[in-house]
Chain A
Amino acid sequence: MSDQIRCPMCGKPNPADAEVCRYCHARLKPIQPGDLPQPKPTGALEAMLPPWIRELRAESEMEEETLPLPGEKTEADGSEGAFPEGESASPEPDADDPLAALWAEEEEDEDLPDWLKSLGTEEEASAVAALAEEQAAPSAGEPPEAAEPKGAAEEEESALPDWLAGEQSAAEAEEAVLPDWLAEGVVAEPAGEPAEAAAPKGAAEEEENALPDGSVGAYQPPLVEAPSESLSASPFVESEELAEALLGETPDWLQMLAPEEESASGEKSPAEEEVAQPLTEGELPSWLEALRPVAAATSVLATDEEEPVETQGPLAGLRGVIAPPTLTTLRPGKVGVLGGKLKLSDEEERQARILQDLIAESSRPLPPSSLPDKKEQKVLRWSVGLLMLLAAFLPFFLPFLRAPLPRRVLPAAIAAQRLIDDVPQGAPVLVAVDYSPAFSAEMEAAAAPLVTDLLAKHARIVAVSTQPTGPDLISHFFAALGSDYRESEHYLNLGYLSGGTAGLYAFARHPRLVFGYAAGHDRIWNTSFLSTIHTAADFSLVLVITEDPETARAWVEQVRPALGEHTPLLMVISTQAEPLVEPYYETASQQVGGIVTGIVGGLAYEAIRGRPLTAAAQAQWGAYSNIALMGLMIIAGAGLVNLVLGWRERRNAPTLPQDEDLDDEEA
């Protein structure tokens, strides 16, 4: 696992040499002082500087050489301390230097347990070291303040550069305006007693000292008010004074946990011992793993002043209650950066990634070439429309453009003819006029020959429909057969059968119940059409005329089982339903006893009967054939051209996303 590091933001493993997380693109390695812009060699330009500046520079360089600071301060950085790489690990931390902790980090790191080292890179570990320093101080038998007493802080001031000293003075000026009780606490309150101001100061200083990267040089003055984030006590930050500062009076249970008491006994707590044990890298105990997200990012967040004040919602007026979105204020690698992150299993992470991919996929814009060109589409539609309308009109003007009638032998149509022939004279037949009015031309052309045959046999035709327009559709259908056929004399119009599949199921088993309440229908059930009908099986034949495969399926599924062996189910269907109805005809049990498909099927049936077609029917056949032929030629010709163009476009644009993934707006 040493070749992998976990992203501080999303917690996913990344190669150790990665700069940014490959999942969330968060920076894995903080920007180091050495990474910051380095001063360019400008020695050649020195001579151009005025003499007074050169003198100033020489003085400045002499002063820097005398400073105990281990790093060099560049001019370019101004207030920020930019230190060359390799020099950050100072062997001698200067106790007088408030920034000494920074240089001491590397040394402290030596004493850190391995598991802490493994939590991040070198720089991350140094940040952790600052925390370890906090822990180490009480274990030495001193309160946290002792490590950095007030007096020491005053001494520090002398060693600080002017700008920092000024900041410190400002902090003292703030203290000066504090109320006495608070100022007193600031100056003299020892650890373990309520010291709301002092403790935060010390803690804040330590926290600030621990800040690497950009925060290093930008030394913040100790703040009087404690950062609110500190409330979320990290298990790694056992700073009692911090807790006291925040909570006021230390509760008993917290005092029992106080580190100095443990330290005073000279024994390490079991937890400490456990922590101190060198663990193999990457073998964090589960409890520690589980704790990692809990370790809040309190100390790594910028100070309150840098955080935005909420202006909306129930949190309005509060500062820093919601983490600012700028991730640069976070210190990568610091324990507790993962605060608030959900602990996800691999499976959950994978699913989240799939969701992310899906969202990204759906938001991906269509490539320009696949977007429909409106002008091109309009021209295409005009051309196709014009050609098809011409093809449809011409047979009416020019009889020679009418295609000859087909003479086909269709087995399904022969089966249908046999079923019609098997119907006894005057037998009851159920005809379902169950198509949308839009398909009336095709359905009437296909079904008319069969129904005419039934009427010729004086079959007692009972018509029903599950279409709301059914009653008039039935009337229209029989009117189209010829003016000789009248309702209630040659056929009975039962009208609309409500309920869809449920209605069909009920009608097939108890037709009287479904239509029994109907006004006047009680009389109808005593007429010759229905007097012998109690179930659908009492009909001699059930003829379903439909264009919809779903409707056909509903009849097969709901009605066919109720018909028994003696009542066949015959279907007249549209060409669009043929592939999905054909399997019901192909079964050994012949769920559908015969099929007549579309206008071709009607013509085939007529051909079997040997009946001549009328001139109108011939003209319609001609128009139909010509339209379909024109469509066929357009699809074959233009489709071929487009196929070549499409392939060429694909070849020229290899980065084009697969069209299979894109929505087809024409679908």
Chain B
Amino acid sequence: MKAPVATAVAMAVGIVVLVGYFIPLSIFTGLRMLLLQWAIILAGAALFVGMVNLSQHHWARIRARRGVGSAWLVFSLWATFFITFYFAPASLPTRWLFDAILLPASVALLGVLAVSLTVAAVRLPRRRPGLFTILFLTTTVLILLGSIGIPGVGSLPFVSNLLRPWLAQVPAAAGARGILLGVALGTVATGLRILLGSDRPYSE
């Protein structure tokens, strides 16, 4: 058996937390909250470990003389880390970093996605000409048309007030409900496999 200790830990804490969901006994409630609190701490530590890992990876690239970009990344990483740690999040310096670097870069990246998605949608029917492609793109076009205004015209009444809401709230929502249920059932199945020890994603 791979990772027996980790498996035992995962099963034990998982079962205690899960039992607490359905059996509201005080003994479970207190223990469960304690376990959850530790999980919150661990999740924070995982975030920190992730940062250290990224730094290590790029540090190795620097030592191998393979990346000027890596040096730039390591510099920005540790500079931001020390500024944020010293001045505290939501302070003036971190607000400056957030407003000048983090926010515009991420917003612009999402903006580029608009172009990429349009290109992908254009190429799709050539790669996969078929009924489902037509249905997919027709829905896309109708939802887009119902969500915007046309210069000089405004919103198209029928599309905006009837067709788009109906599409989004009936067939799309029906499909989405099926997807949600499917995802939830899959989550339960995967979760139970983990809790029963048959699935061990934490073992290397």
Measured between beta carbons, the chain B residues less than 8 angstroms from A496 are: 89
Roughly how many angstroms separate A575 CA and B172 CA in the complex, as a whole number? 13
Q: Does A580 contact B (CB under 8 A)?
A: yes
* In the complex, number of A-B residue pairs with CB atoms less than 8 Å apart: 212
Q: Does B151 contact A (CB under 8 A)?
A: yes
Roughly how many angstroms separate A410 CA and B94 CA in the complex, as a whole number? 38
Measured between beta carbons, the chain B residues less than 8 angstroms from A621 are: 149
A391 CB to nearest B CB, Å: 10
**B43 CB contact (under 8 Å) in A503, A635, A666:** A503
Verify A586–B151 contact, CB threshold 8 A: no
Measured between beta carbons, the chain A residues less than 8 angstroms from B99 are: 476
Given A410-B165, A437-B107, A579-B168, A632-B144 contact (CB < 8 Å): yes
B119 CB to nearest A CB, Å: 5
Verify B124–A406 contact, CB threshold 8 A: no
Verify A436–B39 contact, CB threshold 8 A: no
Verify A643–B126 contact, CB threshold 8 A: yes
**A578 CB contact (under 8 Å) in B40, B151, B168, B175:** B168
Verify A406–B90 contact, CB threshold 8 A: no
**A666 CB contact (under 8 Å) in B39, B109, B120, B152:** B120
**B144 CB contact (under 8 Å) in A622, A626, A631, A642:** A631
Verify A472–B89 contact, CB threshold 8 A: yes
Verify A506–B33 contact, CB threshold 8 A: yes
Q: Does A25 contact B (CB under 8 A)?
A: no
Measured between beta carbons, the chain A residues less than 8 angstroms from B148 are: 403, 624-625, 628-629, 632
Verify A635–B141 contact, CB threshold 8 A: yes
In the complex, per-residue mask of B155-187: 1 if CB is within 8 Å of any chain A CB, else 0: 100001100010011001101110110000000
B103 CB to nearest A CB, Å: 5
Q: Does A627 contact B (CB under 8 A)?
A: yes
Given A381-B119, A632-B148, A580-B176 contact (CB < 8 Å): yes
Verify A472–B90 contact, CB threshold 8 A: yes
Measured between beta carbons, the chain B residues less than 8 angstroms from A505 are: 36
Verify A642–B123 contact, CB threshold 8 A: yes
Q: Does B190 contact A (CB under 8 A)?
A: no
CB nearest to A519 among chain B residues = B88
**For chain A, which range describes its interface: under 10, 10 to 19, 20 to 34, or 35 or more residues?**
35 or more
Roughly how many angstroms separate A622 CA and B109 CA in the complex, as a whole number? 21
Given A385-B115, A582-B169, A583-B180, A502-B43 contact (CB < 8 Å): yes
**A639 CB contact (under 8 Å) in B97, B137, B179:** B137
A654 CB to nearest B CB, Å: 14
Roughly how many angstroms separate A409 CA and B133 CA in the complex, as a whole number? 31
Count chain B residues whose beta carbon lies closer than 8 angstroms to a beta carbon of A.
Answer: 66
Given A437-B102, A476-B103, A666-B120, A625-B149 contact (CB < 8 Å): yes
Verify A625–B150 contact, CB threshold 8 A: yes
Q: Does B10 contact A (CB under 8 A)?
A: no
Roughly how many angstroms separate A380 CA and B173 CA in the complex, as a whole number? 33
Measured between beta carbons, the chain A residues less than 8 angstroms from B102 are: 437, 469, 472
CB nearest to A587 among chain B residues = B177
Roughly how many angstroms separate A455 CA and B121 CA in the complex, as a whole number? 42
Q: Does B3 contact A (CB under 8 A)?
A: no
Given A493-B90, A586-B173, A659-B128 contact (CB < 8 Å): yes
Measured between beta carbons, the chain A residues less than 8 angstroms from B33 are: 506, 509-510, 513
**B118 CB contact (under 8 Å) in A388, A402, A469, A578:** A388
Given A502-B43, A635-B137, A647-B129, A469-B98 contact (CB < 8 Å): yes
Verify A499–B134 contact, CB threshold 8 A: no
Verify B147–A474 contact, CB threshold 8 A: no
Chain B residues 101-142 with CB under 8 Å of chain A are: 102-103, 106-107, 109-110, 114-129, 133-134, 137, 140-141
A447 CB to nearest B CB, Å: 16
Q: Does A660 contact B (CB under 8 A)?
A: yes
Q: Does B67 contact A (CB under 8 A)?
A: no
Verify A582–B149 contact, CB threshold 8 A: no
Q: Interface of B with A (CB < 8 Å)?
A: 33, 36-37, 39-41, 43-44, 47, 89-90, 94-95, 97-99, 102-103, 106-107, 109-110, 114-129, 133-134, 137, 140-141, 144-145, 147-155, 160-161, 165, 168-169, 172-173, 175-177, 179-180
9 cross-chain pairs, A with B, having the tightest CB-CB distances, nearest first: A403-B149, A471-B89, A646-B129, A499-B40, A643-B125, A642-B126, A438-B106, A404-B154, A646-B126
Given A472-B97, A495-B90, A639-B125, output 5 extra A-B contacts at Cβ < 8 Å: A388-B114, A404-B153, A406-B149, A583-B177, A635-B140
